Amino acid sequence: MMTLTATAHMAVWGKWLGDALGTNAAGASAGNALFGIFLSLVVYLFGQWLFKIGKGFFLFQPLFVGMVLGIFILFLFAKAFGTDTATFYKSAYLPGGNIIFWFLNPATIAFAIPLYRRNDVVKKFWLEIVLSLIVGLVISLFVIYYVSKLIGLDNVGIASMMPQAATTAIAMPIAGAIGGNTAVTAMACILNAVIIYALGDWLVKFFHVNSDPIGAGLGLGTAGHTVGSAKALQLGSIQGSMASIAVVVISIVVDIVVPPFASMMGLI
């Protein structure tokens, strides 16, 4: 009797939770957005707390902790519901995740403000900025191409690595056009940001990147996208402004340079 009630309880609670998360067949279309928003906030705030008590240990950066912990929690939930992580992610997390994700639109636009605050630098160095981004990207493409070959990626993998300097929305279609896997490219763009966010301060110091503030800003914006721009703003107003301009200009440069580069290297 006792065991029976326990199982019955489990079933009731499981159904309730499944309905709430939108993972049951009945609730699948509804997809409660609050779970995704709540989970994102909780894992990020936990990351902030961990970063604080960890005295700023770089692997405890809130974005990195939030990402790993969030995926792990989704993995556990998926196991508990007897489904795979990707399916559970799509039905339970994505509706809420998309709402937060949407706010990257106004947040990206907002980088026009630090850009404009140092308009004096933009006006004075616009030619150097554009030339540096074009030449810097072409050199980087060669390095990334040969590193990928050395590590043993196939042509699909290499093509997926080429457009990652651009913002995700540009990088993905370009990757598709040159024979890459768009999901891998999206992953690259995300990891770029996470890596710059976690290791940015250390990399800047180690490679003495900040000896030239304009270069530091352009580099951070190219490597870390909008997250790189936020990092650059912490270094100073010139760096922040330069990173903001890099995000825009490098995306357009990738648009123009990567397809011919890919055909030159025989990827397409």
Partner 1 sequence: MAANDKATKTETAKEEQASPILIQMGIFAAILFVSSLISPLFPATFPVPTPVIGLVILYILLASHIVKLRNVEKFGDFMISLIAFLFVPSGIQLAASLDILKAQGVQLVVVILIATIVLLVVVAYTTAGFIWLRKNVFHRDVNVEE
Q: Which of residues 20-79 bind partner 1 (CB under 8 A)?
A: 36, 39-41, 43-44, 61-64, 66-67, 70-71, 74-75
Q: Output the CA–CA distances (angstroms, integers) from residue 202 to 167, 195, 196, 207, 218, in the order listed.
A: 23, 11, 9, 9, 17
User: Which of 21, 159, 165, 235: binder of partner 1 (CB under 8 A)?
Assistant: 165
Please state the closest distance from residue 15 (CB atom) to partner 1, in A.
Answer: 24
Binding status of residue 201 toward partner 1 by CB under 8 A = no
232 binds partner 1 (CB under 8 A): no
C-alpha span between 139 and 57 (Å, rounded): 32
Which lies closer to partner 1 via its Cβ, residue 5 or residue 211?
Answer: 211
User: Which region, judged by CB under 8 A, interacts with partner 1, from 10-18, 21-29, 176-184, 260-268?
Assistant: 176-184
What is the rounded end-to-end Cα distance, in angstroms, of the chain?
67
- 192 near partner 1, rule: CB under 8 A: yes
- Report the C-alpha gap between 23 and 15 in whole angstroms: 9
- Among 4-12, 14-22, 23-31, 92-100, the segment contacting partner 1 (CB under 8 A): 92-100
Q: Looking only at residues 99 through 138 of this chain, which bind partner 1 when binding is defined by CB under 8 A?
A: 100-101, 103-117, 119-121, 124-125, 128-129, 131-133, 135-137
What's the closest the beta carbon of residue 21 comes to partner 1, in angstroms?
Answer: 14
Q: How far apart are CA 91 and CA 24, in angstroms?
A: 9
Q: Which two tokens stand for residue 265?
A: 């290297």
Q: Please, what sign has the CA dihedral across residues 157, 163, 165, 168?
A: negative
* 181: helix, strand or coil: coil
Report how many residues bind partner 1 under the rule CB under 8 A.
119
